[in-house]
């Protein structure tokens, strides 16, 4: 739960918001199949990746989607550009991890060192980065 920026009280917030400039490339955090690449209510432009074992990642508020449903992607592939679509108050990436269709804390998941998804560290909210989340594998540029 968090303070709702569009009203009074609190609202569910299932992911983490990563500050980044509009147009910043968004990279797949792991290999997977694009299960959604569409406009989706509060998420605005949304890409959802299915990583198998009932694990999914969602990338929301995108200015532009660069993949299509059914497309296979690999960790580090650029799948979209950061934006401010949907229920958003400014340019950022909404990043969400779901296991068995249940949102889990993406910060705890990223910090877990789970090699299955090979999730990389992300920049803090004070810095914008050319790699909003994911990015090239370690040792690659």
Report yes or no: 2 and 16 within 8 Å, Cβ to Cβ. no
- Average confidence (pLDDT) per 10 residues, the chain, 141 residues: 49 79 93 96 95 92 98 95 93 92 77 46 38 46 43
For 47, residues 6+ apart whose C-beta sits below 8 A from its C-beta are 26, 34, 36, 37, 58, 59, 62, 65, 67, 79, 80
H or E stretch covering 52: none
- Which CATH number does 17-111 carry? 2.70.70.10
DSSP assignments along 68-85, one per residue? -TT-EE-TT-EEEEEB--
- What is the predicted pLDDT for the residue at 77? 94
- What is the predicted pLDDT for the residue at 112? 55
Can you tell me the distance from the alpha carbon of 79 to that of 81, in angstroms, rounded to the nearest whole number? 7
Select from 121, 137, 129 the least CA-distant residue to 23: 129
- Give the global pTM: 0.74
């Amino acid at each position: 739960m968090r303070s709702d920026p569009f009203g009074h009280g609190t609202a569910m917030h299932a992911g983490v918001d990563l500050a980044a400039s509009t147009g910043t490339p968004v990279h797949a955090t792991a290999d997977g199949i694009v299960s959604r690449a569409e406009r989706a209510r509060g998420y605005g432009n949304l890409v959802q990746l299915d990583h198998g074992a009932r694990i999914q990642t969602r990338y929301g508020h995108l200015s532009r989607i660069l993949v299509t449903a059914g497309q296979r992607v690999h960790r580090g592939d650029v799948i979209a550009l950061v934006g401010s679509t949907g229920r958003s108050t400014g340019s950022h990436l909404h990043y969400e991890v779901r296991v068995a269709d249940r949102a889990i804390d993406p910060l705890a998941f990223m910090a877990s060192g789970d090699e299955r998804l090979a999730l990389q560290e992300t920049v803090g909210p004070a810095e914008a980065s050319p790699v909003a989340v994911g990015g090239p594998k370690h040792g690659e540029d």
